[in-house]
Structure formats: structure tokens, C-alpha cells
Amino acid sequence: MKDKSSILAVGTVAIDAVETPLGKRDKCFGGSASYFSYAASFFTSVKIVAVVGDDFPAEYRAVLEQKGVDLSGIEVRKGEKTFFWRGKYKGAMNEAETLATELNALLAFKPLLALQDTQPVLFLANVDPEIQYKVIEQKKGSKFTVMDTMNFWIQNKLETLKKVLAKIDALVVNEGEARQLTGESNLIRAGEALRCMGPSHVIVKKGEHGVLLFGDEGFFALPAYPVKDVYDPTGAGDSFAGGMVGYIAKTGTYDFATLRQALIWGTVVASFTVEDFSLERLIRLKPDELQQRYNDFVKIIRL
Amino acid sequence: MKDKSSILAVGTVAIDAVETPLGKRDKCFGGSASYFSYAASFFTSVKIVAVVGDDFPAEYRAVLEQKGVDLSGIEVRKGEKTFFWRGKYKGAMNEAETLATELNALLAFKPLLALQDTQPVLFLANVDPEIQYKVIEQKKGSKFTVMDTMNFWIQNKLETLKKVLAKIDALVVNEGEARQLTGESNLIRAGEALRCMGPSHVIVKKGEHGVLLFGDEGFFALPAYPVKDVYDPTGAGDSFAGGMVGYIAKTGTYDFATLRQALIWGTVVASFTVEDFSLERLIRLKPDELQQRYNDFVKIIRL
């Protein structure tokens, strides 16, 4: 039996605490897989593989269920707590200062895929590359695999990370990670060097400066959508990936032209994410608002 | 008698010394008006108003003369030396470290416009805002005035700078200056705040991240042209402005649609400037190469 979802997303489902110049939340819904799957669910169906503790709030679960996200792959570990992250942003909010990371249930995360996990698209959010590698080995029927990572793994698990890179189709990283992974300060050279490590498509996220795409058919650069009030940048990258991969999975084609288009959708979804804390703005987002902002954005950037 | 040139450019003509990770020059041609007018001369005719010492090399003069730049507005001060700047760039070369600034002849710079200086377009490169203000007061027949500035004047001559801002049509600044001038960390808010200070068009340069345009008819964002080998970023901003203002002056129209197009030309010209030291790459640049890169760039960014 095939799973009806088109994306399998492996990542974190978390409880966050966030402070920015425009406000704070002592406890809110977070995690890479949460943002990713909520964003992707505007385009297609997603199944999450993750782990939480038995403190994980039912209302957070309901947030994703209401968007049709398949949560059957979320393991609930009894007597343990959910992964917790506390962070703070200052000034232009380009980077989070991590104040606390409590891995909790995440320490025992060993994703076991089900027989029916034959989704054509696999998204590996930022987790230990050893976990990412084991998921790729288990995954059947994958036509397009996208991964994210972070500076910690580049610094501490580079060899495993390189093994994963050799097996994926698209890499999503931010500009600092692109430079760190390649040793190239020029982002164009960095993007090309990353393609040489395996993925045929490399997406470099630059926050307020937009995003770059390096692919087999060339290069594409896209500015960010102009957001005036950034309340909380947490999850912007994950929901960018969600919009992008969601659009790709919906079309079922994996070429350069589709990825260019997917970058626009990812940018538009992420522009909503940052307009409020946690998933709050995404939860209020209606499909026609998304379409309207897409239209507005295209008007801004079209030559 | 009207001057035949369409742009009057007031700025510096200098001797530079530059070091970057890819090489160094102990003595080379520099200055904001030099880069600006050379870049603009691909589109239209330019007259420079500047001051140099009697050490100013004849071969630098010949560089501009060969492009038809009118140098009759350059005052040569006997017994004085030309403005000298020494700078160094590291890593991603996003910012220069100034090692030496010798103002020399520039200290006595008091631009006196001629009766025939009735060019429709006026460009005020980065000089003391008091000088910029006095030029605006003298200038007859100006239809479109564009200015640049820098952090030093924002910090030390803010009140005069604000008087100049109130009298111009377009401001060109980099992202740091935009934030500094407005106190807004969000660039979209900063751009709008700058428009409230006077200029109906504001252009925010972001180096490798492209450029933003805030205008009466909305907002436009343009990525940078992907340059792999940046040899020397000196003059990138001035030649961006040269390409941009050159294109505007050539069309003779000053609306948002023209400025959008002008940003593309400015970006393309500046992408050549950084490919070698000083004006060296611009000097080798042929009009058909410029057109070819424009075509390539449009292919990259067109949706």
C-alpha cells in the first residue's frame, strides 16, 4: 500500500521560546518539520517523521492535523520531554542567538520508515547527518531528495555530511553555511562547489537578501519579498523549504524551470511566517492571500 | 550656449592604492567622478566638475578623454597634490578598510559651474554635502538630480545633508548608510523613510546581494550579476551609478519604469568594474560585451 502523501519530511517537532525586538513568547510551537510541513501543506500532502515527549501539547498536534499533515510517523516517547529551543534576535534579526537547547526526546531519534513510505519526495530537515543518511538508506521510491543542514554539523560531522550530500538531489543552506562548507567567500563559487559535492541543485538562502539557485541548467537569483515588520524570523528557512518543496511535489517535475518557480512560492510563504511569532501567521493564512501575495511579488520582480 | 553633454557629474578624481586578496596596485586611477563618468559614457556624454593637483597623470586624463568625457570642469591646482586614497579589502570584500586618505587639492574644492552648464541631469558624487548644496544652488536647467553620500557625512554633517536630500530627485546609498540615515534596521522601512526626506526615488545598493529601488510607483528589487572573481570592488558603487544615471540621461525620462531599467544597466556595468583593478576592466570593455552581459543577466532574472 502506498502512502497517500507526496512528501516525507524528517525533522524536529519542538517547543520554542523566542524573543525579538517586537515581542516574546515563553512557550510556542516550533521545529523544522513543523514549519516545513505546515508550509508545504498549502501545495500538497505531507507526512512527518519525528519524535516528541509525552509533554507535547495536543493543541500543537491539532494545528498540523487541521492542515491534513499525517502525524502517524511522530513517535511519542513516554516519560521524556519534547525538544526545546530558546533563542533571541536583535537588530536586523539576521541571526538567532541560541540561549538554550534541550535535546530531550530528540537524543533517541532513530527514524524507522514504514513499508508504505514510498512518497516521491523526501525532505531531510536539519538533523544529525547520521540520521539523514539512515533515512535515505531506508527510503523506497524517492524521486527527489532535498536536505537542509547547519553550521554545527558542518563543523562536527563533515565526513558523514559529505556522504549524505553525495546522495541527494537538492541542498538548501544559508549563505554562511555555503561559505563554511566550501571555504569559498564568493557565493557564486560556493554554490558551484556545493554542486560538485553531489546535489544537482543548490539553493542558498540569504534572508532579507533573497535566494540563489544553482542548477544543471544555470543560475537564478531571486530577491526577498519586502516585509516591513519582521516579528519573528524563526522558521523562515523551514517554511521557505516547505513552500518550495511543496510546490515541487505538487508538480511532480524536478527540473530547473520548476525549481525557479518553486523558489518564488517558498519566498512568498516564508514572507508570511516572519510576520508573527511561531506558526501564528501561517495558521491564519488563507490560500487566496497566498495567491495574492504571489501575484504582487511577481509584479515587483518581473522585468 | 548649451553644453553638449547631458550629465554634469561633481565628485572626486583621485589616485588610489588598493590591496585585495587577488592582488594589489600601488598607484592607480580612482575617484568617484572618474568611475561614474567612464561608466556613464557608455550611454551618453558627461562633463566632470572636480579638482586635481598638478601631479595628476596625463595618462589618466587620456583615459576619460578617449571616452569623450568633457574634462574642462576639472580645476588643476598648481603646487598641490591630487586626492589620494589607500584601501584594503579582505574575505568577501564587502567593505574597504581605509588605510590612508590624503585630501590634498580636494581641501580647496569649490565647484564653480559655467554658464553653459545646463545639462538636464546632475550627479552629485560622494563629497561634502555643503559642496553638494552649493552646486545645486548654481545649477540651471536641471531636470533630474541624483546624489550619493557616505557614513562620514551622515555622522558629521547630517543637517546639511538633510538640506541636500530635500532638493534632489534620487538618492543612491548602500544598505549601511540607509540604516544609519534613518535608524531603521529593516531595509524596506529605511527606503521608505529616506523617500520622506525628499528624493522621490531611493536606490539602496547591497553589493553582492543586488539593489533595491523605492519609487513613487512602488518597489523593485534586483539581484546582483553573478561575478565569480572579484579582483577589486573599488568603484563598483560609482560605476553602478554611472550606468544607471547614464541610461536615464540617454532616455531623457525620469519615471519608475526607466529607473527599473536603469538599475539593470548599472548592475551590468558594475559587474565589469570589479573584474579588475581600478578602471582597467572598464577600459577594455566593448559596447557589444556590455550588451551581451545585459542579455545574459536578463535571462537569469526574467521570470
Element housing A265 (H / E): helix A256-273
pLDDT in tens, chain A (303 residues): 456 789 999 999 999 999 999 999 999 999 999 999 999 999 999 999 999 999 999 999 999 999 999 999 999 999 999 999 999 999 878 889 999 999 999 999 999 999 899 999 999 999 999 999 999 999 999 999 999 999 999 999 999 999 999 999 999 999 999 999 999 999 999 999 999 999 999 999 999 999 999 998 899 999 999 999 999 999 999 999 999 999 999 999 999 999 999 999 999 999 999 999 999 999 999 999 999 999 999 999 988
pLDDT at position B281 is: 98
For A265, residues 6+ apart whose C-beta sits below 8 A from its C-beta are: A43, A243, A244, A246, A247, A294
Closest Cα in chain A to B183: A91
| Chain B interface disruption, residue of A90, A94, A182, A185, most B CBs within 10 A | A185
Asked if A48 has any chain B CB less than 8 Å from its own CB, the reply is no
pLDDT at position A17 is: 98
Q: Is residue A203 part of a domain?
A: yes
Asked if A178 has any chain B CB less than 8 Å from its own CB, the reply is no
Asked if A183 has any chain B CB less than 8 Å from its own CB, the reply is no
pLDDT at position A288 is: 98
C-alpha distance from B36 to closest chain A C-alpha (Å): 25
C-alpha distance from A292 to closest chain B C-alpha (Å): 16
- Give me chain B's average pLDDT, please: 96
Closest Cα in chain B to A90: B185
State pLDDT tens for residues B188-244. 999 999 999 999 999 999 999 999 999 988 999 999 999 999 999 999 999 999 999
**Dist. CA A102–CA A15, nearest whole Å:** 10
Query: Using CB atoms, which residue from B185, B221, B298 is nearest to A301?
Result: B221
Report the Cα–Cα distance between both ends of chain A, in Å, rounded. Answer: 47
State pLDDT tens for residues B280-302. 999 999 999 999 999 999 999 98
Which residues of chain A lie closer than 8 angstroms to B219, CB-CB? Answer: 226, 300
Which residues of chain A lie closer than 8 angstroms to B230, CB-CB? Answer: 186
| A46-53: strand order across its sheet | A70-77, A46-53, A7-10, A121-124, A144-148, A170-174, A201-205, A211-215, A218-222
C-alpha distance from B51 to closest chain A C-alpha (Å): 36
Q: Is residue A2 part of a domain?
A: no
**Contact call for residues A65 and A56 (beta carbons, < 8 A):** no
Asked if A209 has any chain B CB less than 8 Å from its own CB, the reply is yes
pLDDT at position A5 is: 87
**Contact call for residues A21 and A90 (beta carbons, < 8 A):** yes
pLDDT at position A3 is: 62
pLDDT at position A127 is: 94
pLDDT at position B161 is: 98
pLDDT at position B219 is: 96
Q: Do A186 and B210 touch (CB under 8 A)?
A: no
Which residues of chain A lie closer than 8 angstroms to B220, CB-CB? Answer: 300-301
At B55, the pLDDT band (50, 70, 90 cuts) reads very high
Asked if A226 has any chain B CB less than 8 Å from its own CB, the reply is yes
For B278, residues 6+ apart whose C-beta sits below 8 A from its C-beta are: B16, B18, B25, B28, B29, B30, B232, B234, B235
Q: Would you say residue B87 has pLDDT above 90? A: yes
Measured at the alpha carbon of residue B149, what is the angle toward residues B133 and B11, in degrees to the nearest 5?
70
Asked if A27 has any chain B CB less than 8 Å from its own CB, the reply is no
Give the number of other Cβ atoms within 10 Å of residue B159's Cβ.
Answer: 7
Asked if B206 has any chain A CB less than 8 Å from its own CB, the reply is yes
Which residues of chain A lie closer than 8 angstroms to B186, CB-CB? Answer: 92, 208, 227-230
**DSSP E strand stretches across B108-235:** 121-124, 144-148, 170-174, 201-205, 211-215, 218-222
Q: Is residue A1 part of a domain?
A: no
Query: Using CB atoms, which residue from A208, A224, A300 is nearest to B220?
Result: A300
Q: Residue range B271-278: average pLDDT?
A: 98
Q: What is the CATH number of the domain that holds B55?
A: 3.40.1190.20
Element housing A29 (H / E): strand A23-30
Give CA B269 to chain center in angstroms: 12
Residues of the domain holding A195: 7-301
Which residues of chain B lie closer than 8 angstroms to A224, CB-CB? Answer: 221
At B256, the pLDDT band (50, 70, 90 cuts) reads very high
Number of domains in chain A: 1
Q: Is residue B95 part of a domain?
A: yes
C-alpha cell at B72: 574642462
Q: Which of residues 242-261 of A touch B (CB under 8 A)?
A: 260
Q: Would you say residue B95 has pLDDT above 90? A: no
Asked if A208 has any chain B CB less than 8 Å from its own CB, the reply is yes
Question: Is pTM, for the whole model, over 0.80?
Answer: yes
Asked if A93 has any chain B CB less than 8 Å from its own CB, the reply is yes
Cα-trace Rg, chain A? 18
Q: Is residue B269 part of a domain?
A: yes
pLDDT at position A303 is: 84
At B2, the pLDDT band (50, 70, 90 cuts) reads low
Which residues of chain A lie closer than 8 angstroms to B92, CB-CB? Answer: 179, 185-186
Closest Cα in chain B to A299: B220
Closest Cα in chain B to A262: B303
Handedness of CA A244, A246, A249, A250 (dihedral sign): negative
Asked if A264 has any chain B CB less than 8 Å from its own CB, the reply is yes
Interface A:B, Cβ pairs < 8 A: 81
pLDDT at position A286 is: 98
Asked if A95 has any chain B CB less than 8 Å from its own CB, the reply is no
Q: How far is CA A58 from CA A52, A71, B95, B238, in A?
A: 12, 12, 50, 58
Which residues of chain A lie closer than 8 angstroms to B224, CB-CB? Answer: 221
Q: Do A223 and B226 touch (CB under 8 A)?
A: no
Looking up cell 551581451 gives B292
Which residues of chain B lie closer than 8 angstroms to A300, CB-CB? Answer: 218-221
Amino acid at B183: G
Q: Is residue B278 part of a domain?
A: yes
Q: Do B189 and A264 touch (CB under 8 A)?
A: no
Asked if B229 has any chain A CB less than 8 Å from its own CB, the reply is yes
Closest Cα in chain A to B256: A300
At B5, the pLDDT band (50, 70, 90 cuts) reads confident
Q: Do B228 and A93 touch (CB under 8 A)?
A: no
- Residue B137's φ and ψ, nearest 5 degrees, are -65, -30
